[in-house]
Every structure is written in C-alpha cells, then in structure tokens.
Structure 1
Amino acid sequence: MKFLIFILFFICGFSQSSLGKSSPTAHFKVLQMNIWQEGTMVKGGFVAIIDEIVRADADIIFFSEVRNYNGQQFVPRVLDALEKRGKHYYGNRKTALDVAILSKYKLSDQVEVYPDGEGSGSILRVTIQMGKQTIAAYSAHLNYTNYACYLPRGYDGFTWKKLEAPVNCADSVLVANRKSWRDQSIRVFLQKVRKDIEKGYLVILGGDFNEPSHLDWQDDTKDKWDHNGLVIDWDCSILLYDGGFKDAYRVLYPNVETHPGFTFPSDNKDVPISKLAWAPEADERDRIDFIYYYYLPGFTPVKASILGPDSSIVRGRRMKENSQDSFIIPRSVWPSDHKALVVEFTYGKVGST
C-alpha cells in the first residue's frame, strides 16, 4: 500500500511539474466604456456605471468622457462606490484629459500621451504590474468632430446637417477625416509606444475612436449600412495595423457581415431617439469603440462581447440587431449612447512561437 501511494504521489508530482514548465498562461479581462458625460445624460446613470463594472468584473477598465464636473474628481467617486460594493480598484491620478483607467492592480508611470487641446483628443498611459508581466495600458478618446463616416451617408460630420447628396469619393472622405487630427493622435501614440514594446511590455489600447475601422469598410460591406458603394481605408486602424497592432474584436470575429459589432449609435430605452442619433434618415451604425493590442506570440484575445443593449438606432428608429454578435444585456439602466466592449486575453511565454 505504501508503495502504491508513493507511485501515485510521484506521478501527480511529475505531472504538475511538467505542466508548470510548459508555457504557463495567465488571463485578464478588459472593459472599454464610453460613459456619456459620466452617466449624467441618463437618470441613474452613475449607479448604472457602477452596476456594470461590478458585473463585468474586468481587471482593467478604460473610460471615455470623464468630465470631473463641478470640480469633483470622477475617478475617486467611482473607486469609493466600487469599494462599497466590495470591489477594490486602483485609479489613475488627476489628469486634465477626458479619459481614465482603473485596474485591480496598482498603476504607475502615468503619462499624458496626447493632450486634449481644442477638442483634439486624449490619450493617457499607465503601466500595470500583473505578476511578473508589465502591461502598458493606453486609454484614448479621439476627436468627435469631422465625423467623416457620415459623409457617404449624406450628412455633414461637422455641422451634422443633411447634405444635398452623399459624398461618393473615398479620397474626399479621408481628406475631411484628417481635419479631425485623429490620425495625428495615433501617430503620436505609435511614436511613444515604441519604448514599451522594446521593453517587452504587453500593450493594450482601448477607446472611443470616433472613427470606423478599415476592416469594416471593404468590398464585402460596400453596399451595406449606407456605405453607398465606398471602400475606405480609415486612417487610425490602418496606422495601428501597420504599427503591429491588432483589433481584438476582429481577430476573434473576422466576418464583418455576421459580427458587425456596432457600438454607435446604441439604443437606450430611457433616452429619446433624438438624443441618441445624429443622422435620422440614414443607417449610421458603426464600430467606433475598440480594444487594440500589440501582437506578440503567446498574447491573444480569447473572448469578446458587446456590453449594452442588443438594439441600435437605424434611420431614426429603435431596431433590434439580428447579428451573431455576443451581447451582455444591461440589467436595468444603460448609462450611455454607445455600447461597451469586453475582451478577455491570455498570455503565456510572450514572444515564443
């Protein structure tokens, strides 16, 4: 009997040791959320933000549209509210930017990468130590004006007024798009992020880009969603892909037709349609909220869901989506006019093949 116990112990011990030596993996979850003026646009919006954070239970959270109204810092308010729910998070230090980062792990090395001057956009960076792995996390909210994806749909992206006819030239759309300085924001990001990449950090970038992805505006969708026959290589996503980044949602769901992943304009049952959409006679749905990651072998997204209502605003009406996207439906109040994004990642021996 003693001999048998010894053999079983040896086998189990050997197996555990072997597993421990074979590319151990770790896991973390990221939430990207446009909180629509800190939830103030919806009755009960702040509490709803807290509700959804608790339910998502993400390790890292990116916020867009942080305002610090009336001199009251938003991040400490959120941290206090979460603490009362038994959820301990760390938040970024005070910043003039309209973005924020929360994490279950301590944050350090905060840097304002791109300033929010004259509405030009915001990008904030922190580092997060997760075990032995350092993560460089960037939160972005790019300029909302010159919203050029409205031009093919027959609306001006600056005045929001209806045009005499849709713009039918992709080059003209891109010229208008570049007036937003969104491409400049990403160029600055790509320049600054090189140091993190050289150090071997895992890099994630989450935010409301106010610009679609080139992956969603190719031949397969040129006659859908009021693209009006245009194929457009949108600047920010092209720049990021050229810089070695991947769009987590599209990596997992490359079929744009079955998984469009629209994040704006989201339906919100507690808000009039007139406050949710800006092109009432068009199908203005797009995916403009993203989580990108710098590609390294061993670092990969394994699951992605859209957090928010499974309905959108289409031609001035509420319409339930009939896609195969995975939705996490809000429990009660939804605090935003965007849908949020939840992505889970794993990483093992990063950089190994």
Structure 2
Amino acid sequence: MKNVILSLLVLFFSLSVRAGEKFTVLQWNIWQEGTVVPGGYDAIVNEIVRLKPDFVTFSEVRNYHSTRFCDRIVASLKERGETYHSFYSDDTGLLSRYPIADSTVVYPLHDDHGTVHRMLTEIYGRKIAVYTAHLDYLSDAYYNVRGYDGSTWKKIPKPESIAEVLAVNDASFRDDAIKCFIKAARKDVENGVMVVLGGDFNEPSHLDWIRETKDLYDHNGMIIPWTVPLLLDNAGFVDAYRTVYPDVLSYPGFTFPADNPLIKVNRLTWAPESDERDRIDYVFFYPDRRLKLKDAVLFGPKGSIRKSERIVETSKDRFVEPLGVWPTDHKGVLVTFELVE
C-alpha cells in the first residue's frame, strides 16, 4: 500500500506546476512552407530539431501537398525523434510539444485576408492558450510611406499626411482579425488561462515608428500609430521583443525583408528603391503573475535588404543564426518564458 501511495505522489508532483520551468515560443513566417527556397522544407525540419521550441507559430502555411503541412512536418519531426502535436490549419499553423486539448478557428481565411487560430494545452498543470496569426498582406500602408502602393506595389506619390496613411491602413482586414483575437483571449484570461500570440502581422509597430526614428528607414518624417500593435497594447497585451529591448535605435528588431543568398534580391523586396526594413513578426503575451518573460532573440540571418542592396545589420540585435539553408524572406522571433509560483 505504501508503494502505491508513493507512486501516486510521484505522479502528482510530476504533473503539477514546477516553478522555474522555461518554455520557448518561435514565431516563424516560412514563406509558403519554404517551397520558394530550394531545400526549404528540410531546413524548417532541421532548425526545429536543433532549437526544440516548445511552440512554433507558423505563418504562410499553404498546404500545397496532398497532406496538410502541419501533419507532414509532425511526421518528419517524428522520423527525427522529435514529438510534436498540431491541428487543422490554413495560412497559419502551430506546433506544440504538449498534447492539444482544444483548437479553434478564431478568424477564418477568406480571400487571403489573414487568419487567427487558437490552441489550448497544459504546461505542468497550467493551462495556456497559444494563438497563431498571419494577417492581411494587402493595403500595407508602410509601403505607401515609401512611395509604393501597398496593394499592387507600384510606384505612387508619397502621402502627405499620417491621416492619408491610416486611411490606406484601415482598408485592410488586420484590425478585424486582431479584434477577434482580443475577444477570444479575454475569455481565456477570465478563465485563468495564460495567453501567448505569435504572428506575422504585416504591419509595423507604433513602438517603432516614433520621434527618434521618424527620419530613419525611409519613414519620411512620419510618426505613425500603427493600429494592430496599438490595439493589442491598449487591450493589455505585451510585445515581448520590445519589452526586452525598449531601445528602438539600438535594437530595431527588423524581421523583414531578410536577406537570403539562395534567392535573387528582386524576389526579396517589394519596394526596390526604398528601405523597407520593418519589424512585422511578433510574439505578444498577456501579463500574468504565473508567467515571466525571460528573453527574446531574432532567429535568422543578420543580413537584410535595403534599397535592393544586401546589407549586414550592425545593430545590437541578438541573433540565432541558421546552420544551413534559410527557408524564408523573414526573420523569426524566439521568446523564452519562465513559469513562476
């Protein structure tokens, strides 16, 4: 009888909360499943095996093959000795090291205007909802600031006012999608569930287009309250990277466009004569006394594309660089959290 009780106690404590345990979230736009880059799919598998993130929030999942991308990649990872779980997805995808209790389509794909998916699981007895988003890539007003139409990417006159920029920005479906996320995530928070969101928002941050940067990166003197990150900020959600690195000048955190030696420059940039470097891939979370933000780094090459030139960033941004083929035109964001009592 003593042995039975001891075994049950061991099982209980192994499943209960363990303060100090860390977990990682990787946001990664994989550029149509890496199919644009030779060897891209294998590179995605290789890097996940190397980094072993607890959660991966994918953007640009296209499901080109007869099986869905996340099903394929789970099978490929299993062949390499790594166990992950996933769910139905389109445009966005998600991998979890923990069994999935529930999954929901929060904002469905329609006419390629973006998606938001939700996954619920448990980490050491604590429920966590991980959301993945890939928002509307049309009406990208940050191109307009640089003299390019954000829908057709043709040359246009640069806007004369911030109101003009925001009017173009409002034509996208990004705000609609993120409002759906906020509504769903609030229910999670009310139910005591921790919340993390990873995504390619296709929109810069109001924390980056500020007075100190208004004459940099072809911002053309504009200080713009970009709406998606601002909506999240106002709803109480926290931008992990900018929290770790509040100094925008030293740590710009550019995630797009990333240089890729296997692809011609004209396929890596939409505004050939402009400096379109921006931070558009994010990990957000809801502040929770049980959850501590520990670290955030960029994942990808140090190279970027600036005015159709390949450059190496000289900022203080920290990088986890790829070991081989880089499968995308974005840089990812790898964030580390710690569970606390």
Q: TM-score range by the shorter chain?
A: over 0.9
Shift in Å, 1:85: 1.3
- Structure 2 gaps of 5+ residues are 1-17
- Hey, what's the Cα distance between the residues in 2 that align with 1:348 and 1:224? 39
Q: State the AA in 2 paired with 1:82.
A: L
User: Residue 259 in 1 paired to residue 251 in 2?
Assistant: yes
- Hey, what's the Cα distance between the residues in 2 that align with 1:184 and 1:79? 31
User: 1:168 touches 1:228 (CA, 8 Å); kept in 2?
Assistant: no
Q: State the AA in 2 paired with 1:71.
A: S
Q: State the AA in 1 paired with 2:161.
A: C
* Equivalent residue pairs, number: 325
User: Residue 128 in 1 paired to residue 121 in 2?
Assistant: yes
Q: 1:116 aligns with which of 103, 109, 122?
A: 109
TM-score by length of 2: 0.93
- Hey, what's the Cα distance between the residues in 2 that align with 1:332 and 1:192? 38
Hey, what does 1:340 align to over in structure 2?
332
Hey, what does 2:41 align to over in structure 1?
46
Q: State the AA in 1 paired with 2:58.
A: F
Shift in Å, 1:73: 1.1
User: 1:168 touches 1:230 (CA, 8 Å); kept in 2?
Assistant: no
Shift in Å, 1:180: 0.8
Hey, what does 1:329 align to over in structure 2?
321
Query: RMSD value over aligned CA atoms?
Result: 1.3
SS at structure 1 position matched to 2:168: helix
User: Residue 314 in 1 paired to residue 291 in 2?
Assistant: no
User: 2:103 touches 2:119 (CA, 8 Å); kept in 1?
Assistant: yes
Hey, what does 1:107 align to over in structure 2?
100
Shift in Å, 1:168: 3.0
Shift in Å, 1:298: 4.2
User: 1:203 touches 1:293 (CA, 8 Å); kept in 2?
Assistant: yes
- Structure 1 gaps of 5+ residues are 1-22
User: Residue 200 in 1 paired to residue 166 in 2?
Assistant: no
- Hey, what's the Cα distance between the residues in 1 that align with 2:299 and 2:188? 29
Q: State the AA in 1 paired with 2:63.
A: N
Hey, what does 1:140 align to over in structure 2?
133
Q: Structure 1, residues 94-120: CA drift from partner, whole Å, max 9, x if none?
A: 24x311111110112111000111122
Identity of aligned residues (%): 46
User: 2:292 touches 2:340 (CA, 8 Å); kept in 1?
Assistant: no
Shift in Å, 1:24: 2.8
TM-score by length of 1: 0.90
User: Residue 69 in 1 paired to residue 61 in 2?
Assistant: no
Q: 1:247 aligns with which of 212, 215, 239?
A: 239
SS at structure 1 position matched to 2:249: coil
Q: Structure 1, residues 253-301: CA drift from partner, whole Å, max 9, x if none?
A: 0001000000000000100001000111100000000000011234222
- Hey, what's the Cα distance between the residues in 2 that align with 1:61 and 1:126? 11
User: 1:264 touches 1:287 (CA, 8 Å); kept in 2?
Assistant: yes
Shift in Å, 1:170: 1.1
Pick which of 97-106 and 68-77 moved more. Answer: 68-77
Q: Structure 1, residues 167-210: CA drift from partner, whole Å, max 9, x if none?
A: 13111111101111101111111112111000111100001000
User: Residue 183 in 1 paired to residue 139 in 2?
Assistant: no
Q: Structure 1, residues 35-61: CA drift from partner, whole Å, max 9, x if none?
A: 111110000000000111112210011
User: 1:31 touches 1:56 (CA, 8 Å); kept in 2?
Assistant: no
Q: Structure 1, residues 79-134: CA drift from partner, whole Å, max 9, x if none?
A: 11111111111111x24x31111111011211100011112210000101111111
User: 2:145 touches 2:158 (CA, 8 Å); kept in 1?
Assistant: yes
Hey, what does 1:15 align to over in structure 2?
none
Q: State which structure, 1 or 2, has the greater radius of gyration over its C-alpha atoms.
A: 1
Hey, what does 1:156 align to over in structure 2?
149
User: 2:114 touches 2:174 (CA, 8 Å); kept in 1?
Assistant: yes
Shift in Å, 1:328: 1.1
User: Residue 299 in 1 paired to residue 294 in 2?
Assistant: no
User: 1:266 touches 1:313 (CA, 8 Å); kept in 2?
Assistant: yes
Shift in Å, 1:70: 3.6
SS at structure 2 position matched to 1:139: strand
- Runs of 4 or more above 3 Å deviation: none
User: 1:65 touches 1:98 (CA, 8 Å); kept in 2?
Assistant: yes
Hey, what does 1:169 align to over in structure 2?
161
Q: 2:275 aligns with which of 272, 277, 283?
A: 283
User: 1:127 touches 1:135 (CA, 8 Å); kept in 2?
Assistant: yes
Hey, what does 1:4 align to over in structure 2?
none
Hey, what does 2:10 align to over in structure 1?
none
Shift in Å, 1:342: 0.4
- Hey, what's the Cα distance between the residues in 1 that align with 2:185 and 2:320? 32
Shift in Å, 1:329: 1.1
- Hey, what's the Cα distance between the residues in 1 that align with 2:204 and 2:339? 28
